[in-house]
Amino acid sequence: MLNPTLAQRDPAAASRLLLTLLAVALLWPGLGLSELDLGVLFDGSNADTMGTFLAGFWPPEHGGEFLALLWQATLETLAIATAGMALALAVAIPCALLATRALSISALSRGGRPAWWAQALRWPVRGLLIVLRSIPEIVWALLFVRAVGLGPTAGVLAIAITYAGMLGKVYAEIFESVDPLPARALLGAGASRLQAFFYGVLPQATAEMLSYTVYRWECAIRASVVMGFVGAGGLGQQMDLSMRMFAGGEVASMLLTFLLLVLLADLLSRVLRWRFA
């Protein structure tokens, strides 16, 4: 291989070229379907409108009245995330208890594998959790906006439903991942399932559950801002309004507030996790 005449050409060039051609052939119809056109961005009138819009970004709007509105919207976003998480927990914990295999009595005599009928009884709950979390939260938000009207209620319900699905699944898995022997000993000695859960499973699972819950709360804040764009209240709804009015300064301050909020939530969640975990 040290012979320079041999290394003149890339030996793998042909196969790479073929792979690239294949990828291009597969993606070619995609170009048509996605109507990709970068030229639109620099097209005369569009570029002018965008230019004035972006030029309005500096300075960010900071009038007293606007700041009061911004403060209200920020509080609303935080409240939506917190209230949604509280409702989600109220749904997720019972569902997780119903769905987990860790508290199965029929599994006691079978080395940890529940009987088939016991598994079949758990499936409806698992299926419900799958459906709840597989539909994106913003779709739920859109549906609830049509059902209960514009405003934070739709956001709270959407977060509650989606996050109940996620938390329920993860909690059930956490219960199954801890050491099963304490719970089995309790169940075998005649304790009720709830007693076995509180004294056999929960002490081992608390740290992980808390850390995941706090992480999800952080996600809920981001989601509640995004859901505002379909009318579910909070910062997002204000941002949508300002964008439609091409008020660049207002959009800039709101984006800055959003970034600050996400940073603070990240910080707080790190502190809480460090405290509990």
Partner 1 sequence: MKVLSRLLIPAALLAAVIAAFAFLQLEASALLSREGLGQMADYASGFLAPDLSPAHLRAIGHGALETLAMSAIGTLLAALLGLLLALPAAGRFGMLLQAASRLLLNALRAIPELVWAALMVLAAGLGPNAGTLALALHTAGVLGRLFAEALENTPPAPGEALRLSGSGRVAAFCYGTLPMLWPQLVAYTLYRWENNIRMASVLGFVGAGGLGQMLYMSLSLFQEAQASTVILAMLLMVLAVDSLSGWARQRWVRG
What residue ranges bind partner 1 (CB under 8 A)? 10, 27, 29-38, 40-41, 46, 49-50, 53, 75-76, 78-80, 82-83, 86, 130-131, 134-136, 138-139, 142-143, 146-148, 152-153, 156, 222, 225-226, 229-230, 239-240, 243, 246, 255, 259, 262, 272, 275-276
Q: What share of the chain is helix, strand, coil (3-state, %, to 5)?
A: 80, 0, 20
Q: Is the Cβ of residue 115 or residue 276 nearer to partner 1 in the bound state?
A: 276
Residue 85 CB, shortest distance to partner 1, in Å, is 8
Yes or no: say if 121 and 99 are a contact pair by the CB < 8 Å rule.
Answer: no
Residue 31 CB, shortest distance to partner 1, in Å, is 6
Question: Residue 187: is it exposed, middle or buried by C-beta count within 10 angstroms (0-12/13-18/19+)?
Answer: buried
Q: Is the Cβ of residue 27 or residue 185 nearer to partner 1 in the bound state?
A: 27
Yes or no: say if 223 and 159 are a contact pair by the CB < 8 Å rule.
Answer: yes
Q: Is the Cβ of residue 77 or residue 104 nearer to partner 1 in the bound state?
A: 77
Residue 248 CB, shortest distance to partner 1, in Å, is 11
Q: Is the Cβ of residue 49 or residue 192 nearer to partner 1 in the bound state?
A: 49
Residue 206 CB, shortest distance to partner 1, in Å, is 12
Residue 244 CB, shortest distance to partner 1, in Å, is 9
How far apart are the C-alpha atoms of 236 and 98, rounded to whole Å? 36
Q: Is the Cβ of residue 105 or residue 210 nearer to partner 1 in the bound state?
A: 210
State the angle between helix axes of 248-276 and 202-227 in degrees (0 to 180), rounded to the nearest 10: 180
228 CB-near residues (< 8 Å, 6+ apart): 77, 155, 234, 235, 236, 237, 238, 239, 240
